[in-house]
Amino acid sequence: MTEQKIIMDTSDIDRTLNRIAFELWEHNRGSETFAFIGIRRRGVSIANRLSRKLQEFTGVRIPVGALDITLYRDDLSEIASHPVLKKTEIPFPIKGTKIYLCDDVLYTGRTIRAALDGINDLGRPEAIRLVVLIDRGHRELPIQPDYTGRNITTTKGERVEVLLQEDDGIDQAFITGGA
């Protein structure tokens, strides 16, 4: 059995998302032309939580969209012979909107590159900012987050996994593997 090292629990994740929500509001106060887009799967849950937290703090409802990047991946042929496509749902105009792209873990940057391609195919936003719960380093592309919950030092042999209540029935982030 692979050993798991827990790096965030329920209260850590909640506290981290509260902090990010406050930071986002400080940078956007008075502007309602921003929206969240979560990368399917857990990025959508993070985007929804941030929107709810902002609504609790401010009374302002920030729209949330969901992006499936499957067909934009540069490793599509390596992950599945018949990829499972999920729905992209963006219920607001992309053009002229500041987009906060949300994901659970930033690693090589390839998922984010695919998401940027997907968003730009839907329209030209005012700007795109990246929000990640965990940045584990080891970038292969020049992509950096604008808002980071936690920076974690890992080896390439380790794996960082995030579980969220909405998707997995528990809030927890952990590292598995090694060397």
The domain spans of the chain are: 13-152
Average pLDDT of 145-152? Answer: 97
pTM of the model: 0.91
Residue type (1 letter), 178: G
pLDDT of the residue at 77: 44
d(CA 172, CA 53): 19
pLDDT of the residue at 74: 54
Q: Is the per-residue pLDDT at 39 higher than 50? A: yes
Secondary structure class of 100 (helix, strand, coil): strand
CB proximity list for 40: less than 8 A, separation 6 or greater: 66, 67, 68, 69, 86
pLDDT of the residue at 86: 72
User: Which CATH architecture group holds 13-152?
Assistant: 3-Layer(aba) Sandwich (3.40)
What's the mean per-residue pLDDT of the chain?
Answer: 90
pLDDT of the residue at 123: 94
Sheet holding 172-177, edge to edge: 4-8, 172-177, 158-163
d(CA 135, CA 50): 18
**pLDDT tens across 75-89, in order?**
544 445 555 557 899
pLDDT of the residue at 112: 97
**pLDDT tens across 47-72, in order?**
999 999 999 988 989 999 999 998 87
**pLDDT tens across 88-118, in order?**
999 999 999 999 999 999 999 999 999 999 9
d(CA 94, CA 96): 6
pLDDT of the residue at 81: 55
